[in-house]
């Protein structure tokens, strides 16, 4: 099982890390994940802090881009923002696939990424593995440890598909 998990992680993490961003709010930060080539970012509602706010998204290579918050759902603690600046040469943003089949189940192995304690280019997004320990309606919970700065970061199945974003108190908002 460990060999299979290692192989899955080695295959999935590079793409997942390329789309995992730090969201700089000026007085703090959180994490997010790019979900389309145009720069739509999913994060936690408490990270976005509202609608129509200007924030800065920091890409894994340290590039800082302007973004604006679009909308949020405080009940599930989910939000979207849009990167308003383009990449050089009009390149598309790296993004992850969303697990639209919603086929995760209790006990599944998962991995999470986040910018614990803020952006650090040398360290990159921190990866953690865990298992789903609770699945209910719009929330899922893992036994993977999270700390400040991980909020809004992505949770992936072992195929590298997005299944949720980190919320408060160890809960993860559904996608």
Catalytic residue among 31, 112, 151, 167: 151
- Which tokens in the block code for residue 15? 């793409």
Give the sign of the dihedral formed by CA 160, CA 68, CA 47, CA 125: positive
Closest listed residue to residue 57, CA positions, set 15, 17, 21, 20: 21
Whether 151 is a known active-site residue: answer yes
Closest listed residue to residue 16, CA positions, set 129, 118, 101, 108: 129
CA distance 39 to 138: 24
CA distance 88 to 69: 22
Whether 116 is a known active-site residue: answer no
SS3 148: coil
Contacts of 53 (CB under 8 A, 6+ apart): 68, 69
Catalytic residue among 18, 46, 108, 120: 46
Catalytic residue among 24, 48, 77, 115: 77
Whether 115 is a known active-site residue: answer no
Mind telling me the catalytic residues?
A: 46, 77, 151
């Amino acid at each position: 099982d460990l060999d299979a998990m290692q192989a899955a992680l080695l295959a999935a993490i590079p793409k997942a890390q390329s789309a995992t961003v730090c969201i700089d709010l000026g007085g703090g930060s959180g994490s997010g994940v790019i979900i389309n080539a145009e720069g739509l970012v999913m994060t936690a509602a408490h990270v976005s802090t509202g609608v129509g706010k200007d924030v800065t998204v920091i890409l894994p290579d340290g590039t800082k881009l302007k973004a604006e918050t679009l909308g949020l759902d405080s009940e599930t603690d989910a939000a979207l923002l849009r990167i308003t600046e383009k990449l050089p040469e009009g390149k598309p943003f790296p993004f992850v696939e969303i697990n639209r089949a919603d086929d995760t189940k209790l006990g599944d192995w998962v991995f999470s990424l986040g910018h614990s304690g803020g952006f650090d280019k040398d360290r990159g997004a921190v990866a953690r593995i865990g298992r789903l320990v609770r699945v209910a309606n719009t929330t899922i919970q893992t036994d993977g440890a999270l700390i400040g700065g991980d909020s809004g970061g992505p949770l992936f199945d072992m195929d590298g598909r997005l299944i949720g974003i980190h919320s408060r108190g160890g809960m993860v908002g559904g996608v």
